[in-house]
Amino acid sequence: MSSKQTLKRSIVFFLVPEFTMIAFATAIEPLRSANRMLGYEAYKWRLASLDGKPVQGSNNIEIKADTSLEDERKKMAGPDRPSMVIVCGGTNVENYQNKSAFAWLREEYNRGVAIGGLCTGAHILASAGLLANKRCAIHWENLPGFAEAFPKANVFADLFEIDQNIYTCAGGTAALDMMLKLIGEDFDDSLVNRICEQVLTDRVRSPTDRQRLPLRARLGVQNSKVLSIIELMEANLSEPLSLIEIADDVDLSRRQIERLFRQEMGRSPARYYLEIRLDRARHLLIQSSLPVVEVAVACGFVSASHFSKCYRELYARSPQQERADRKQLLAA
């Protein structure tokens, strides 16, 4: 290998049960493509699991692991120490509790190894104590529960975040963008563009590109005033705005807002606002262990009883039943 043909990164992908396959695959594939185009192994990787046994993804496909946590600890002081460890998260990550894995991640980080998280991997990094006062990204569906569970982490609904030696992405194809960003730092845009052509993507998205579809596409709504009102509502869930405050902000009358929402959304603005607050509450009930009363407060309800009444009317079950059903499903 010539002086130019140097290893850029040695990466351990730590597979967590129910990891998301799409994020895992789109993180590895650009590395493989880079090696192929360069004609040498600029990137190498291995897969680790807690016990070295295969790990089943959220799609029920098992992936063989190369090493165990015990093996990785033995490699920490030797030539096989990785330059980067990436935690592959997925569904039900909030229930993952393993002190040995958390300690290993801290040890690697303290030795100068970069630490990353795919999809919901940020949840595990935060549980390990690595995200206090750090910028991070997590899948939008898990953001409400994560923000409540880890208030010291600076979490954003971005595609990916890089804060010094901590790398996190929102999962899905955002893993591709984050890895292309790394490859671009190691080499140049020319190589990144060639990889984009190979994997049939037209560009590397910016870290701050939105995770979700724009409201216009997501809701099928074209009226710009209605979209502005919904954005205001989504930004003020814990302390809901009054209709008067919303009307003043968008320069419409209350009657105009009522009429627009009936036409575009098929319901009153108050009803729509209630539904998106209850949707956030549902995510918190499923993803966190917050008491029901704290979930109620976080979603702008003045009392747990009023919250429970509204929740039951929309979902035909109480918040307590929602959480109990979730636990029963996980235990099955």
For 230-274, how does the pLDDT look when each residue is reduced to its tens digit (9 = 90+)?
999 999 999 999 999 999 999 999 999 999 999 999 999 999 999
79 backbone dihedrals φ, ψ, rounded to 5°: -65, -20
3 pLDDT higher than 50: no
**pLDDT category of residue 2 using cuts at 50, 70 and 90:** very low
Q: Whole-angstrom Cα distance, residue 256 to residue 217?
A: 23
Give just the sign of the alpha carbon dihedral 102, 103, 104, 107: positive
- What number is the average pLDDT over the span 128-143? 94
For the entire predicted model, the pTM comes to 0.79
331 pLDDT higher than 70: no
Q: Alpha helices of the chain — where are they, by DSSP H?
A: 21-38, 69-75, 99-110, 121-127, 143-149, 174-186, 189-198, 215-219, 224-235, 243-250, 254-264, 269-287, 292-298, 304-315, 319-331
